Amino acid sequence: MFGWLRELNEKERKTMIGCLGGWSLDALDVQIFSFVIPTLLTLWGISRADAGMLGTVTLLVSALGGWLAGALSDRYGRVRVLQITILWYAFFTFLCGFAQDFNHLFIFRALQGLGFGAEWSAGAVLMGEVIRDRFRGRAVGFVQSGWAIGWGAAALLYTVIFALLPEETAWRTMFWIGLAPAALVFWVRKHVDEPDVFKAQQARLIESGRSPLSQLLVVLKPPYLSTTWKVALMVTGAQGGSYALSVWLPTFLRTERHLSVLNTGSYLLVHIVGAWFGFIVGAVLADAIGRKATFLISAIGSAISVVLYVTMPISDTVMLLLAAPLGFILYMMFSAMGPFLTELYPTEVRGSGQGFCYNVGRAFGALFPALVGFLSQRLGLGPAIAVFAAGAYGLMIIALLMLPETRGRDVRSIAMAGE
């Protein structure tokens, strides 16, 4: 499963390590919030709807950040934009620890979202252009598994910090640790270089006199428009289903299943380990059976699994055992996401195309945690998660049926979207 790593050249390997570190630490910073929701509900007396808004605002603003970063990376470089975004999200995660009320945290979370969305856009394009098409699915998928690593780190920190410190201090400490990713920038600066295909295209872009902002709208015009809206719809389903569960899962375990902090952390770690294996297997399948088949298997399996997990009257022991396969099937799809989007757009608009589709999908998907929060006040948290997760994956499947398979495409030869 990992033998292909030895066949990567030095540039491919260093690029993969830099992007893996960036995505892992991105996940750490973003997932911290899901663990502190129960504490904020108690300490600040906010409602679940308020907590859903705090989760949603980061994701909504991340759409703007990712779209802007994609356009800027087409003009100024994937690596340069990647470094700026890592510094940005680390700094504003750190500031979240100083929030004194809902309004302060809302602002800091919104600003954190700009960097969160931007990091994926720059990193995914960088990986897609550096890694050869033979290994692209596995390499980009392997980097995507960094989300489980960062999420797992957040779960471990939560378990340890909340066991050692009073809740009033522990939640702030979690956010302060979010400054750590800033150190990665120094390594990226030294070891990661721009893709050759981008360097060749950059000179032509500069000579054309086209402004970076003009790149923002180019994928909303022919010949790209047809592909763009379909992919954005697909990503909306994938992100919406994931967020409906992941943002609310710690709260579901604490408030609906009445688990302790230690048991909640343990359940989540089992779920995250399953997610890591899902990322890895999804990466292998993306190259072996194709991007679309991987998406469909994961989407159908996720819709069924989430509904059963949060609504069936199962024991805590069974819930623990099912946490790993749930994480496995849920996150398989994200391994194929990066290579699939890379292979739909030519180099001159690749950053803009990926940035727009992934982040507009993320923006609409970001509405799902807030909607779950509102509906949970009438139906209960489990049924609310089930309703919106199943609807999201259904939307993803519909969009996939209208999109082409892209496995094996050479990124240097793509003339226009959909070809």
Q: What is the pLDDT of residues 17-53, one digit of tens each?
A: 998 988 898 888 888 988 898 899 999 998 888 888 8
Tokens standing for residue 287: 């190259």
Residue 57 belongs to a domain: yes
Q: Please report, for residues 96, 166, 265, 268, the alpha-carbon distance to residue 158 in angstroms, rounded to integers and kept in the order given.
A: 16, 12, 7, 11
Number of folded domains that form the chain: 1
Closest listed residue to residue 93, CA positions, set 234, 85, 136, 223:
85
Q: At how many degrees (to 10) do helices 48-76 and 10-43 cross?
A: 160
Q: What is the pLDDT of residue 345?
A: 87
Report if residue 207 sits inside a domain: no
* C-beta separation of 22 from 188 below 8 A: yes
Quick check: 59 and 243 in contact, CB under 8 A? Answer: yes
Among 132, 124, 158, 162, residue whose Cα is nearest residue 26 = 124
415 occurs within a structural domain: no
CATH number at residue 12: 1.20.1250.20
Residue 258 has a pLDDT of 81
Closest CA to 359 of 120, 123, 148, 144: 120
Task: Single out the residue of 93, 87, 92 nearest to residue 33, CA to CA.
Answer: 93
**Quick one: which of 51, 29, 55 has its CA closest to 42?**
51
Q: Is residue 206 part of a domain?
A: no
Residue 285 inside a domain? The answer is: yes
pLDDT (0 to 100) of residue 417: 38
Looking at the domain assignment, is residue 385 inside a domain?
yes
Residue 416's pLDDT band, with cuts at 50, 70 and 90, is very low
Pure H helices in 145-224: 146-164, 167-177, 184-191, 196-208, 215-218
Half-sphere exposure of 323 (CA within 13 A, CB side): 22
In a domain, 187, yes or no: no
For 210-259, how does the pLDDT look when each residue is reduced to its tens digit (9 = 90+)?
555 566 677 888 888 999 999 999 999 999 999 899 888 888 888 888 88
pLDDT tens readout for residues 123-161: 888 888 888 888 888 888 888 888 888 888 988 898 899
Whether residue 261 has pLDDT greater than 70: no
Query: For every residue of 90-157, which 3-state class applies, written as one string?
Result: HHHHHHHCCCCCHHHHHHHHHHHHHHHHHHHHHHHHHHHHHCCCCCHHHHHHHHHCHHHHHHHHHHHH
pLDDT of residue 289: 94
Angstrom distances, CA of residue 188 to CA of 150, 242, 247 = 18, 29, 30
Residue 419 has pLDDT above 50, yes or no: no
Looking at 61-65, 262-266, 376-380, which range is the least confident one?
Answer: 262-266
The answer to the question of residue 296 being in a domain is yes
Prediction pTM value? 0.78
Place of tokens 């605002």: 57
Domain span holding position 132: 3-182+212-406
